Structure formats: C-alpha cells, structure tokens
Amino acid sequence: MLEVRNVSKVYEGKVNYRALSDLNFTVKKGEFVGVMGPSGSGKTTLLNVISTIDKPSAGEVYIDGKPAFGLNKRQLALFRRRELGFVFQDFNLLSTLTVKENIIFPLTLENISVAEQDGRVNRIADKLGISHILNKRTYEISGGQSQRTAIARALVHDPKLILADEPTGNLDSKAAKDVLETLQKLNKDDGATMMMVTHDAQAASYCDRIIFIKDGMLYRELQRMDSRKEFFEDIMNVLTSLGGASDELSSVRL
C-alpha cells in the first residue's frame, strides 16, 4: 500500500538541516501504524513527504506501487485530493461553514451529484456520531466534535490512505478516547489504512504497529502482539529508552 524507500529530507537554508535520513519502511493495506519520536525528530516532515505536501531530497514514496513524485503537478494535486485523507491537530475547519458544508467540501471539487454528496455525508456522519450537529457552525461544537468533523471530511471521499498528525493533541482524554475508538473502528470495519503521529503512548496503543523515529532515522519498530495494555507498556519502554519522560515528547508543532 505505502512504501517509503531511501527517503531523506534536507531543509536548505543558511545552514542545511537533515530532518530525515535514509528512511525505509512499508505499510500494508489495512494497517494502522503509529509514528512516535521526540520533538524535532522528523515526524511531521515524514507525514508531509508521504502526503506529497513536501518533496523529499532523495528517495521515493510509492503509494499502491505508484511513485508519488513521478507524477506531474496536476496529477499530484488530483492524487492528493482523491487518494489521501488528512487529519490535522488543529482541525483546519472553515468557521464560516456548517459541519455538513465542511465535510462536503472535498466533494464539491469532484463531479458528483448533490444526492450522492448528501448520501455520503450522511453515511459518514452516522458512523462518527455527528449526524445531530450537521447544521451547526463549527464554533458551536466541542473539540471532540470538531475533530470528528475533521475526520469525516478526511474520509468522505474514501481515501486509500489516511494521514493524521496528532489527531488527539487538542482533546481532553474522554474526547481523545472517542476519536481513537472511531479511528480504530474505521480501520477494522472498513479496512482503511492509517498512519498517525502521536506523542501519547495511550493513543499509540490503538495502533497495530509503531515506528519510532530519532534524529530523522528509524530507531525501532514495535508490533502489537497482545492486549492494548501490554502494547502500551512496550511502547512506554521504548519511549524511556529513547530518552526523556514521555511528557517531554512534545506535541508542539512547528
């Protein structure tokens, strides 16, 4: 489904900065993969490269066997819009629009009938438990509802791959749990492939596998074998070996 091959990213400036160094890994169809690592280790950079928002300095990203950076500008824009779904930490909702209008937004660029758009919005809203707030403005809903709206918008076009950068970073623990359970359900029931950056071991324990990054390099991988509780403990152990308490793994985004 996703293959990151020999990917490096150097930010050029007065002083060049190597944010990613020869990364290699694959994500299977239907997998729910977490990305963890200290602040500044390159997690957001990695997600931006996979989502083709940012170009790698070397290497290639293959999505369904297709080299993402072999596409021209127009193909790339279409690819991003049709095949990928993004969830950001700060929701990125349009406050002048209602919940429904926000969710429908990605579809309005496509040649899809209004009836079909409505049908899709209703199905996804139902799944995410936000049917009753579809006509509210985004400033009238809670943080958890905002995040679920952002997830609905990311999923409404049935993307092949869902990328989430700290999707629970702005939520209290109850709302975070709801959002994580929703993501897990979408992954298990609909077979959606997901990659989620998180600094929170609790959130990470919902994943099937965790990729740990340190200084732009692959540090370790952890596969979930047993219960979520045991996976959580395994994750905590790796975080400890990474150095610093887990709460030093900052959620501050650049």
Ligand X SMILES: Nc1ncnc2c1ncn2[C@@H]1O[C@H](COP(=O)(O)OP(=O)(O)OP(=O)(O)O)[C@@H](O)[C@H]1O
- The residue ranges that bind ligand X (CB under 6 A) are 11, 13, 17, 19, 37, 39-45, 250, 252-254
**Encoded tokens for 225:** 């074998």
115 binds, options ligand X, Mg ion, none, Cβ within 5 to 8 A by partner type:
none
Q: Which stretch binds Mg ion (CB under 5 A): 36-44, 48-56, 100-108, 187-195?
A: 36-44
223 binds, options Mg ion, ligand X, none, Cβ within 5 to 8 A by partner type:
none
Closest C-alpha to 165, from 248, 43, 55, 73: 43
Nearer to ligand X, 94 or 252 (CB): 252
Nearest approach in angstroms of CB 154 to ligand X is 19
45 binds, options ligand X, Mg ion, none, Cβ within 5 to 8 A by partner type:
ligand X
Nearest approach in angstroms of CB 247 to Mg ion is 16
Bridging pattern class, strands 193-197 and 32-36? parallel
**52-80 as b/e: b if 16+ CB within 10 A:** bebebbebebbbeeeebeeeeeeebeebb
Nearer to ligand X, 41 or 182 (CB): 41
Nearer to Mg ion, 214 or 253 (CB): 253
How far apart are the C-alpha atoms of 36 and 219, rounded to whole Å?
Answer: 10
String of contacts with Mg ion for each residue 42-71, x by CB under 5 A: --x---------------------------
Nearer to ligand X, 33 or 152 (CB): 33
How far apart are the C-alpha atoms of 200 and 220, rounded to whole Å?
Answer: 17
- Note whether 193 and 162 are within 8 A (CB): yes
Nearer to ligand X, 78 or 252 (CB): 252
- Of 18, 123, 220, 253, the one binding Mg ion (CB under 5 A) is 253
How far apart are the C-alpha atoms of 29 and 108, rounded to whole Å?
Answer: 28
Nearest approach in angstroms of CB 250 to Mg ion is 9
How far apart are the C-alpha atoms of 244 and 129, rounded to whole Å?
Answer: 37
127 binds, options Mg ion, ligand X, none, Cβ within 5 to 8 A by partner type:
none
Nearer to Mg ion, 141 or 207 (CB): 207
Q: What are phi and psi of 67, to 5 degrees?
A: -70, 115
Nearer to ligand X, 18 or 209 (CB): 18
- Note whether 238 and 222 are within 8 A (CB): yes
130 binds, options ligand X, Mg ion, none, Cβ within 5 to 8 A by partner type:
none
DSSP state letter for 249: S
Residues belonging to the chain: 254
Nearest approach in angstroms of CB 176 to ligand X is 17
Query: 58 - beta bridge partners?
Result: 8
Binding site for Mg ion (CB under 5 A): 44, 253
